[in-house]
Amino acid sequence: MEAIVLAAGYSSRANAFKMNWPLGQISVLEQTISKFEGVCSRVIVVSGFKAELIEEEIAKICHKNAFSFQIKVVYNENFHQGMFTSIQKGCNEVSSASFFLTPGDCPLVKKETVQVLAEHKGNVVIPSFQYKGGHPIKLAKTVKQKILETNPESNLRVVLNGFEKKYLNVDDPGVIMDVDTKEDYQKAIQYCLPLHKQNPFRNS
């Protein structure tokens, strides 16, 4: 299984480049990526805006971690056209029968949630907390094909509306928590504090 992590956006609502913000003792992006350990063989990170910072962050992550998966960074030259072009760019790289898709600023998902999602079959599997859908979502190869065939000016919602969705209710508020704004970031820091001692990827 593989995962696509979207890290190409402008971070406009945060008024700063948030992917390398510290969260716990690692960055937002590393927190997001680390959740696929033991589940995925490869994580595809799609860069765009400030791509060089993503490259630097991934180089740091690879230097200090011995993850079981490979990390590949792909640059979306059309990132300014919107997130769907980044999803298409990532899908171009996917070769597995199913894959995860998540924005890079969704770092608080429990690793156990990812493991549970991986075991569920379906074209579209979406984690939900208190019946609100979140990330990462798990998609089948047939959905990937539809994404690639769709006009780049469209969006993921339109594509997913053509498939039956399975919602998996999980006891994990992290699936609906992102770091869109500086306020979100402060909440994420507070949320991370009690989890920090359990984080196997933190620096010692």
Measured CA distances, 12 to 101, 102, 181, 199, 202 (Å): 21, 18, 9, 29, 28
Task: Read off the pLDDT of each residue in 34-61 and give the average, rounded to a whole number.
Answer: 94
Q: Give me the pLDDT at residue 12, please.
A: 57
pLDDT (tens digit per residue) in 171-200 = 999 999 999 888 999 999 999 876 544 444
Interatomic CA distance for residues 3 and 204, integer angstroms: 27
Interatomic CA distance for residues 8 and 79, integer angstroms: 6
User: HEC states along 41-108?
Assistant: CEEEEEEECEHHHHHHHHHHHHHHCCCCCEEEEEECCCHHHCHHHHHHHHHCCCCCCEEEEEECCCCC
Percent of the chain whose predicted confidence (pLDDT) is above 90: 77
DSSP 121: -
Is the pLDDT reported for residue 204 higher than 90? no
Task: Read off the pLDDT of each residue in 90-118 and give the average, rounded to a whole number.
Answer: 96
Is the pLDDT reported for residue 203 higher than 60? no
Q: What confidence tier does 36 reach under pLDDT thresholds 50, 70, 90?
A: very high
Write the Ramachandran bin of 64: left for phi over 0, alpha for psi from -120 to 50, otherwise beta.
alpha
Interatomic CA distance for residues 204 and 197, integer angstroms: 11
Task: Read off the pLDDT of each residue in 42-59 and give the average, rounded to a whole number.
Answer: 94
Percent of the chain whose predicted confidence (pLDDT) is above 70: 92
Q: Which tokens sit at 178?
A: 């992102």
Interatomic CA distance for residues 103 and 29, integer angstroms: 9
Is the pLDDT reported for residue 29 higher than 60? yes
Q: Which tokens sit at 94?
A: 């996917």
Tell the residue number behind the tokens 């406009």, with chain if given. 12
Is the pLDDT reported for residue 13 higher than 90? no
Interatomic CA distance for residues 72 and 86, integer angstroms: 14
Contacts for 93 with CB less than 8 Å, ≥ 6 apart: 2, 4, 44, 72, 74
The mean of the pLDDT values for the chain is: 90
